[in-house]
């Protein structure tokens, strides 16, 4: 059994991720973090899912059982946990969230004492401890060695100050009308506050979480809804976050969703012009459109590609000393601003770029045309090894011979097969997508 996926431990709350599993996971993580402990404190935050109560209490139980003191800060964005873990000198940080997934899923993400996501090797060590029942039991504390927990409600201000300080001091959002979709998630308080304190007129939607409406027909997964509000209110721009606010989708003043690759391209050349782009390179994933790579090449900027997942984008950035990267899905990372993808911090950088360009969003964020790209997600009952599917290799070779780029992989967090095809001939791309979908439906 494998616990960790591409972004922590994630699954159906109360089923795969139940109270007992969570207690054991917390104990295993606590035992692992104690090896490098300096403060004996671990920070725990969450998004707005109802199941967060169960998982939070189970985490506290497991961590205190192995002697850790726990600081609970309630609903806060994932990037806030990364920032506050380091700021508050904790040994580790834990975020309870399934990000963009529906409310009945939940997840647990871990950060080290510097606010960085754990490497795959660290996750393997925690898994090894998790499955060693005898060792787990031997590490439980008694008497005065049992840990404690306390809830702190005033840390929101620290995060707000941190994000606001990333916005250029010579600019103001005064005069800008912004539609902000909080996805009924973790940023429902901090999001509007940050934008309003910087001077914007903010029209906030989906900021009334009830435990079950997170990501429900709202937020970064449904940005067209924001587009309607932008048009109705004559706003200058729309910003859609996901449930834990580490993802950003931008909507221009025409109500059109800005593709993630165009956003990365526009930001990258902006940073280069401002002499803020280290090593004159950026990182995107294998999912990103080839047109982005060609556009950056024309501007003498190198594009490095990583595996899918913001964790892998960050790893590639660190390995190559690059300070900017992202995923087309909306994880945009400015490593000199935030430890991980931060929807609000990224939104402020987008707004700064637009203000300095003195253009409307539709102009500033439309630097090139994308090549036709089609993405399909197929629900599967079993994740059979792709290299064992007879005929797939031959079909992929045929696709490649037609000048079409393909990427076929299983989701790391859901029982889905993700198929991406890209090429300059849209009709040909669609035809081969139909062939692939039919091929996999017969075999998975």
Query: Catalytic one among 99, 162, 288, 329?
Result: 99
Q: Which of 162, 176, 224, 184 is nearest to 350 (CA)?
A: 176
The three-class DSSP label of residue 403 is coil
**Contact present, 247 and 330 (Cβ < 8 Å):** yes
Q: What is the rounded CA–CA span in Å between residue 1 and residue 4? A: 10
Q: What is the rounded CA–CA span in Å between residue 9 and residue 78? A: 14
DSSP, residue by residue, 112-149: -TTSPBPPHHHHHHHHHHHT-HHHHHHT---GGGS--E
Radius of gyration of the chain (CA): 22
The three-class DSSP label of residue 307 is coil
Strand order across the beta sheet in which 201-205 lies: 201-205, 177-181, 237-241, 248-251
Give CA 176 to chain center in angstroms: 26
Q: What is the rounded CA–CA span in Å between residue 80 and residue 341? A: 10
Question: CB within 8 A of 338, min separation 6: which ones?
Answer: 79, 82, 83, 166, 345
Give the H or E element holding residue 357: helix 343-357
Instruction: Give, rounded to a whole angstrom, the gap between the first and last alpha carbons of the chain.
Output: 21
DSSP state of 330: S
Residue 99 annotated to the active site = yes
Question: CB within 8 A of 359, min separation 6: which ones?
Answer: none
Q: What is the largest CA-CA distance in the chain?
A: 70
Residue pointed to by tokens 């909507």: 251
Buried b (16+ CB within 10 A) or exposed e, 43-80: bbbbbbbebbebbbebbbbbbbbbbbbbbbbbbbbbbb
* Residues with a known catalytic role: 99
């Amino acid at each position: 059994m494998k616990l960790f996926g591409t972004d922590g431990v994630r699954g159906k709350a109360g089923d795969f991720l139940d109270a007992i599993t969570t207690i054991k996971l917390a104990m295993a993580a606590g035992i692992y973090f104690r090896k490098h402990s300096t403060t004996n404190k671990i920070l725990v935050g969450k998004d707005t899912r109802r199941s967060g109560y169960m998982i939070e209490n189970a985490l506290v139980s497991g961590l205190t059982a192995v002697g850790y003191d726990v600081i609970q800060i309630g609903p806060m964005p994932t990037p806030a946990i990364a920032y506050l873990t380091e700021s508050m000198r904790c040994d580790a940080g834990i975020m309870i969230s399934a990000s963009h997934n529906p409310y009945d899923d939940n997840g647990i993400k871990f950060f080290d004492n510097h606010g960085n996501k754990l490497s795959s090797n660290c996750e393997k060590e925690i898994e090894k401890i998790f499955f060693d029942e005898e060792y787990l039991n031997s590490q439980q504390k008694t008497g005065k060695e049992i840990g404690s927990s306390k809830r702190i409600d005033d840390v929101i201000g620290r995060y707000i100050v941190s994000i606001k300080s990333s916005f250029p001091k010579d600019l103001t959002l005064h005069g800008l009308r912004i539609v902000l979709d909080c996805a009924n998630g973790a940023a429902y308080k901090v999001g509007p506050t940050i934008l309003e304190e910087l001077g914007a007129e903010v029209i906030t939607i989906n900021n009334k979480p009830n435990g079950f409406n997170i990501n429900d027909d709202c937020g970064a997964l449904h940005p067209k809804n924001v587009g309607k509000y932008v048009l109705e209110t004559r706003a200058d721009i729309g910003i859609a976050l996901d449930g834990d606010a580490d993802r950003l989708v931008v909507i221009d003043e025409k109500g059109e969703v800005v593709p993630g690759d165009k956003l990365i391209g526009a930001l990258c050349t902006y940073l280069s012009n401002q002499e803020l782009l280290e090593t004159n390179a950026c990182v995107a994933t294998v999912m990103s459109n080839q047109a982005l790579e060609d556009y950056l090449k024309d501007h003498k900027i190198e594009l490095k590609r990583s595996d899918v997942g913001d964790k892998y984008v960050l790893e590639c950035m660190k390995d190559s000393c690059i300070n900017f990267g992202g995923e087309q899905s909306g994880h945009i990372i400015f490593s000199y601003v935030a430890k991980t993808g931060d929807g609000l911090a990224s939104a402020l950088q987008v707004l700064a770029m637009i203000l300095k360009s003195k253009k409307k969003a539709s102009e500033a964020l439309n630097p090139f045309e994308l090549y036709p790209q089609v993405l399909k997600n197929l629900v599967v009952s079993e994740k059979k090894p792709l290299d064992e599917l007879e005929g797939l290799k031959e079909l992929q070779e045929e696709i490649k011979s037609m000048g079409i780029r393909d990427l076929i992989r299983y989701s790391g967090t859901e029982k889905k097969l993700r198929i991406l095809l890209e090429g300059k001939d849209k009709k040909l791309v669609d035809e081969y997508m139909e062939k692939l979908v039919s091929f996999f439906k017969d075999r998975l």
